[in-house]
Amino acid sequence: MNIVVLIKQVPDMERVKFDREKGVVDRKSAGTEINPFDLNALETAVSISEKMDAKVTVISMGLPSADEALKEAIARGAHEGILLSDRSFGGADTKATSKTLAGAISKIGKFDLIIAGEKTVDGDTGQVGPEIAEILDIPHISYVEKIEDINQDNIVAQCELWGGTYLKKAKFPVLITVTKYINEPRLPTFKSKMKARKAKITVWDMEELKEVLTLEEVGFKGSPTKVKKIEVPQSAKREGKLFRENINEGIEEIITVLEDKKVLGV
């Protein structure tokens, strides 16, 4: 069985700062990490590969530095990493991102199961997984919380959606997106980290993908979404005033404040 896992390198959202003037994320202000939900996707794939005869290939589209994320994925149990990196991929919206990832998956050839995170912590659209399934014309199951059964032909997965629990069965090839509830991602060991540092990451640029993609389909050119403005919402400030001298005067003042703010009717 061939399993493809999609991982995105994202900024550490606990530390990253926003440039309010330019309305963009200041990516230099924090380090990067593998999107947390993608660690659940990887753990799902590695657990399956331990039970069945399966090869786990991780793919990421991003800057050349994303090879670090792929090496970490190998340290966590993946067998092979492929990085899609080219200047022409820059400025991609979810459609162009999905198109590029789908192109790479079809170049790999035989695949049975594609696993993505339910969403990323930076873009947060949750569109890329289902879009790839549509492009490849295969079924998908989103928000998977548990794999009930898996064999060489099909998968039965439990997912939570709109307050309901669904048990869905799909024949391979299929794409699933997983939530954080599906498992607890394992940590890499010192030994696996050392081994992964020497791992060779395959890099595919536009030239490598020209049989499956055109320049019009990728990056800015392939992106119908145009972001006009990004605003960082200001967090609401709390105001407080103490009335402690005269209790009756304090009550009067509080009533006046509440009436002014239209909390109490006048």
Ligand X SMILES: Cc1cc2nc3c(=O)[nH]c(=O)nc-3n(C[C@H](O)[C@H](O)[C@H](O)COP(=O)(O)OP(=O)(O)OC[C@H]3O[C@@H](n4cnc5c(N)ncnc54)[C@H](O)[C@@H]3O)c2cc1C
Q: Which residues bind ligand X (CB under 6 A)?
A: 6-8, 35, 37-38, 41, 59-62, 90-94, 97, 101, 116-117, 119-120, 122-129, 223, 225-227
- C-beta of 183 vs 223, nearer to ligand X: 223
Q: Which residues contact 51 (CB under 8 A, 6 or more apart)?
A: none
Least distance to ligand X, CB of residue 1, Å: 19
d(CA 85, CA 223): 17
CB of 228 to ligand X, least distance (A): 10
**Could you give the 3-state DSSP secondary structure of residue 254?**
helix
In the bound complex, what is the minimum distance in angstroms from residue 23's beta carbon to ligand X? Answer: 13
- Nearest distance from residue 247's CB to ligand X, in Å? 54
Nearer to ligand X, 115 or 150 (CB): 115
Please identify, using beta-carbon distances, which residue of 220 and 243 lies nearer to ligand X.
Answer: 220
- Answer yes or no: are the C-beta atoms of 93 and 225 closer than 8 Å: yes
**Count H helices, E strands: the chain?**
6, 13
Min separation Cβ 223 and ligand X, Å: 5
**Cβ closer to ligand X: 13 or 250?**
13
| 138, two tokens | 């295969």
- Cβ-based nearer residue to ligand X, 1 or 7: 7
E strands along the chain, which residues?
Answer: 2-6, 9-11, 17-19, 24-26, 32-34, 55-61, 80-84, 113-117, 140-150, 154-161, 164-171, 174-178, 202-204
Chain residue at closest Cβ approach to ligand X: 123
